Amino acid sequence: MNLFTQGVPISWYLLLSAVLFSLGVLGFLIKRNLITVFMSIELMLNAVNLSFVTFAHQWHAVKGQIFVFFVMMVAAAEAAVGLAIIIAVFRARATLAVDRIDLMKL
């Protein structure tokens, strides 16, 4: 298979997207630092973006590409709010370990 003549097969993109998403989930689950957790969320979002773009290319539909812009926009807004919350939490608790931010339990 010649990558330079035939292009990358579509399944590779999807596989990459799945791997990135899984890494994001894994990071989200096992990292303790709030900022890392946050970055993992971004990773998952972008993995999804990748598969959107892939399918848009596959089906020759522009909808998927437009959707990516929406996701990026929401991710930007979410990043702003999320970082603000993280700063506020850090000021209040002097820690970013997610295991210790558990005041809302019964």
Q: Please name the helix (run of DSSP H) or strand (run of DSSP E) that holds residue 52, with its range, or none.
A: helix 34-59
Here's the x/- map for another protein, 33-72, by CB under 8 A: it reads as: ----x-----------------------------------
Distance from C-alpha of 60 to C-alpha of 6, rounded to nearest angstrom: 18
Interface with another protein (CB under 8 A), residue from 28, 56, 64, 89: 28
Which range binds another protein by CB under 8 A, 3-11, 29-37, 61-69, 70-78? 29-37
To another protein, the closest distance from the beta carbon of 80 in angstroms equals 20
Q: Find out whether 82 and 74 touch, Cβ atoms under 8 Å.
A: no
User: DSSP letters along 63-95, please?
Assistant: HHHHHHHHHHHHHHHHHHHHHHHHHHHHHHHS-
Nearer to another protein, 4 or 34 (CB): 34
Distance from C-alpha of 106 to C-alpha of 45, rounded to nearest angstrom: 31
Task: Determine, following the binding rule CB under 8 A, whether residue 1 of this chain makes contact with another protein.
Answer: no
Binding site for another protein (CB under 8 A): 25, 28-30, 37, 98-99, 101-106
